Amino acid sequence: MDEILTSEHVNFLTSINLEELLTGITQTVLSLGGKILLAVLAYFVGHWAVKRINRVIKQVMNKREVDASLCSFIGSVVNITLNLTLIIVVISILGIETSSFIALFATAGLAIGMALQGTLQNFAGGVMILLFKPYKVGDFIEAQGQSGTVKEIQIFNTILTTSDNKTIIVPNSGLSTGIMTNYSTTGTRRIEWTFVIGYSDSYDKAKEIIERLLSEDTRIKKEPEHLIALSAFGESSFDIVVRVWVNSSDFWDVFYDMNENIHKTFAKEGIDFPLPQLNLHMPTIPKN
């Protein structure tokens, strides 16, 4: 048996044309190497082209003054689409059947989509935000327990920048379906203070001081007219409510400045901010 196998092996080896074998191996290596080289070249050229296209699209949208929120969203979608297309092109250059790959990719995408339902909800939320525009880039909003200025609206998330320069990433699904406060929708906002003074102080005098301070601040609007009223009586003091209208951009500056001015002026004019008081009445104990 060993002799028969050995004879067959020898006959097979002697029948092989060494030159044809080397030529076939060389052609295969050259063909495969050429495909790999072409695929690598296509990837780098395609990557450069994707960056260039993204830059051109951004420039065109900026030139046409497209809304900044829409610019960031479209930019994200285009970037992902172009990169996926580049991957398919590179795979086809390597000789892999793209139809099978696309079918496999679609199947994997379906499975991933089932596993990442929240991510798809965020994508749908981003589309809804761009369609109905509850906020835009540059607006100051409060939602999902967070507040800040909208820096960017991406496919899945919205990027906020807080007043102390922190970056907060909020999923779009919650922003599109939950309660959200947009402080930048209108150009004006109302400020409200409640100042507490003691019963020994004069309400008329306090009102006159507040009127004077309001009239001196040019940031406070004349229309709608401001309000100064006695709003509540406490156990040892009464409350004065003050309401004014200002530009949204001046809200916090006016709020803090008026707190400081009221505190300094009341102290100068002899009006005190009373502390909580508790009166104790001790019964008289008769002497034996």
> pLDDT tens-digit profile of 174-219?
888 889 899 888 889 999 999 999 888 899 999 999 999 999 999 9
CB 215 within 8 A of CB 258: no
- A 10 A CB-CB count for 95 gives 11
Residue 4, H or E segment: helix 2-15
Name the CATH code of domain 188-269 (choices 3.40.109.10, 3.40.50.150, 2.60.40.10, 3.30.70.100): 3.30.70.100
Asked which of 45-54, 86-95, 223-232, 257-266 is least confident by mean pLDDT, the reply is: 86-95
pLDDT of the residue at 94: 72
Which pLDDT band, with edges at 50, 70 and 90, does 32 fall under?
A: low
pLDDT of the residue at 159: 92
Radius of gyration of the chain (CA): 37
pLDDT of the residue at 1: 46
**Model confidence at 169: pLDDT above 50:** yes
Nearest Cα residue to 217 out of 271, 263, 253? 253
Length of the chain: 288
Where do runs of H (alpha helix) occur along 64-216?
68-93, 98-115, 117-132, 172-177, 203-216
The pTM (predicted TM-score) of the whole model is: 0.54
Fold of 123-182: SH3 type barrels. (2.30.30)
Does domain 19-115 fall under CATH 1.10.1040.50? My reply is no
**Model confidence at 98: pLDDT above 70:** no
**pLDDT tens-digit profile of 214-269?**
999 999 999 989 999 999 998 888 899 999 999 988 999 999 999 999 999 999 99
Identical topology for domains 123-182 and 188-269: no
Residue 61, H or E segment: helix 18-63
Nearest Cα residue to 149 out of 173, 171, 170, 128? 170
Report residue 24: phi and psi, to 5°: -65, -45
CA dihedral 167, 171, 174, 177 (to 10 degrees): 120
- A 10 A CB-CB count for 235 gives 10
Sketch the domain layout of the chain as residue ranges: 19-115, 123-182, 188-269
